[in-house]
């Protein structure tokens, strides 16, 4: 079957773009977040394509006045990957690797937005994420991350929020490859307990004159199977510097698996060390764009077109039961890369044992 993508020089196999081969769990995904530098207002959005499942889904989530508003939608892909709109949410690439547009038009729930992302620094390719548990390929994906500024507006229940690039920053990522999507496998893997263990930190940070990126995947013993840190000057102001070594330490909030404070350590190839301290202001709950959502999880089939809307006060969310979050943080840097303050997020998903954190069971919590 020929589709719009076949007219672009983007083929990776002898097949038309509509086909991905035999990888049932193949996905191709956009993610965005944005935050005001002078207020506790935050938004996030995502759009995912699942070619083998013939599904596309998208979502937009907004935090304002301490309430999280989520709109999620899903539709049949019809094998056409170039039409990146699902119900009220659309993503448009205006200038690859530099400018993208996010549009939301949910009239029923009075949630609308027109937002343009413009990069502050070049996109960074992260080390390939590949993990097997027994015979099962749990993850095999590539991801790019890029920090930038936002321009546009958001309307929620009659309130208009002006989004100005001088006071709104954020991060986007693009990832593609294989990970668990759609319905769960009917036959569990004999190593299912190992499949569920997952320790993940992601810390994209905006500084006044630079960007830093950090991530960590640990096994249950605290051994990294994927980690990376990079210092990136703003666009056209110098080359990215990948760190020789990175590490992190978390002080947890009692009764949760979420950070009260996180400290990152960047060791440069020259031997110099930079320390980054992250202090959360509030949490955004990632179910708002489908991560672990009980109904609108990524790749789930809902028919030709379906959607849902939900809202909840942040103060009423049970943090112990809501593991996958992004904490919007004030950040400080000291050491060999200079001293500065900034803003960023610390994404956290910690499931199962993790010896350095003191977690021994699937869901025990910090003392």
pLDDT band at residue 192 using 50, 70 and 90 as cut-offs: low
CA 82 vs CA 118, 147, 352: distances in Å: 21, 24, 38
Q: Using one digit for the tens of pLDDT, what is the confidence trace for 63-122?
A: 999 999 999 999 999 999 999 999 999 999 999 999 999 999 999 999 999 999 999 999
- The mean per-residue pLDDT over the stretch 278-299 comes to 97
Cα–Cα distance between 325 and 348 in angstroms, integer?
6
CA 98 vs CA 51, 119, 143, 166, 267: distances in Å: 25, 5, 16, 17, 29
- Percentage of the chain beyond pLDDT 90 is 87
Q: Give the pLDDT score at 10.
A: 87
Domains in the chain, start-ordered, CATH in brackets? Answer: 26-133+145-175+192-357 (2.40.370.10)
Residue 54 has pLDDT above 90, yes or no: yes
Cα–Cα distance between 232 and 124 in angstroms, integer?
9
243 neighbors 268 (Cβ within 8 angstroms)? yes
Q: Using one digit for the tens of pLDDT, what is the confidence trace for 218-240?
A: 999 999 999 999 999 998 899 99
Q: Give the pLDDT score at 138.
A: 85
How many Cα atoms sit within 13 Å of 8 on the Cβ side? 9
Residue 294 has pLDDT above 70, yes or no: yes
Q: Give the pLDDT score at 204.
A: 98
Residue 360: φ, ψ to 5°: -115, -20
């Amino acid at each position: 079957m020929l589709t719009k993508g076949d007219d672009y020089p983007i083929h990776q196999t002898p097949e038309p773009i509509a086909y991905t081969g035999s990888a049932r769990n193949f996905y191709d995904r956009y993610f965005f977040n944005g935050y005001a530098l002078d207020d506790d207002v935050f938004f996030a959005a995502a759009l995912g394509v699942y070619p083998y499942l013939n599904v596309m889904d998208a979502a937009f989530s907004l935090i304002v006045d301490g309430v999280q508003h989520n709109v999620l939608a899903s539709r049949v892909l019809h094998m056409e990957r170039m039409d990146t709109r699902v119900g009220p949410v659309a993503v448009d690439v205006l200038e690859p690797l530099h400018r993208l547009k996010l549009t939301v038009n949910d009239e029923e729930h009075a949630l609308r937005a027109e937002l343009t992302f413009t990069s502050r620094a070049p996109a960074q390719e992260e080390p390939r994420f590949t993990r097997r548990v027994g015979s099962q390929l749990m993850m095999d994906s590539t991801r790019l991350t890029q920090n930038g500024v936002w321009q546009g507006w958001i309307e929620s229940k009659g309130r208009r929020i002006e989004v100005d690039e001088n006071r709104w920053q954020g991060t986007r990522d693009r990832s593609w490859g294989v990970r668990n999507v759609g319905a769960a496998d009917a036959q569990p893997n004999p190593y299912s307990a190992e499949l569920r263990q997952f320790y993940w930190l992601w810390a994209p940070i905006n500084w006044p004159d630079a960007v830093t990126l950090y991530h960590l995947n640990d096994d249950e013993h605290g051994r990294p199977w994927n980690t990376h840190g990079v210092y990136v000057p703003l666009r056209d102001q110098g080359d990215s510097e990948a760190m020789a070594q990175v590490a992190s330490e978390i002080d947890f909030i009692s009764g949760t698996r979420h950070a009260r404070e996180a400290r990152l350590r960047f060791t440069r190839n020259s031997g110099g060390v930079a320390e980054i301290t992250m202090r959360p202001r509030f949490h955004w709950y990632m179910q708002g764009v489908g991560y672990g959502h009980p109904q609108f999880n990524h790749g789930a089939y809902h028919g030709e077109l379906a959607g849902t809307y939900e809202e909840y006060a942040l103060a009423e969310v049970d943090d112990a039961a809501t593991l996958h979050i992004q904490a919007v943080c004030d950040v400080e840097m000291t050491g060999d890369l200079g001293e500065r303050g900034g803003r960023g997020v610390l994404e956290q998903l910690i499931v199962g044992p993790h010896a350095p954190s003191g977690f021994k069971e699937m869901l025990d919590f910090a003392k």
